[in-house]
Amino acid sequence: MKVTVNGEECTVADGTTVADLMEERGLTNEGTAVAVDAAVVPSSTWSDHVLSEGAQVDILTAVQGG
């Protein structure tokens, strides 16, 4: 199925969760926030949140600097 991640369309398997997507991209929940269809998904529920066809996923990673 097709979803959009940070503005880029990609294909994921049916039943893919936010946790699956993060693992595929090599990302962890530390310093990372995820929103699906403009609603923040708490990291504690990533493995329960199944993506749907056409979902708009935004992944934000905190960057430290000065």
User: The domain that contains 49 carries what CATH number?
Assistant: 3.10.20.30
Q: How is residue 56 annotated by DSSP?
A: E
Provide the number of structural domains found in the chain: 1
What is the separation of C-alpha 63 from the centre of its chain, rounded to a whole number of angstroms? 17
**Cα(7)–Cα(19) distance, rounded to whole angstroms?**
19
Is-contact 38 56, C-beta < 8 A? yes
Task: Determine the average pLDDT of the residues in 3-14.
Answer: 97
Which band of pLDDT confidence, cut at 50, 70 and 90, is reported for residue 66? Answer: low
Q: Which domain covers residue 27, as residue numbers?
A: 2-61
pLDDT confidence of residue 14:
97
pLDDT attached to residue 22? 96
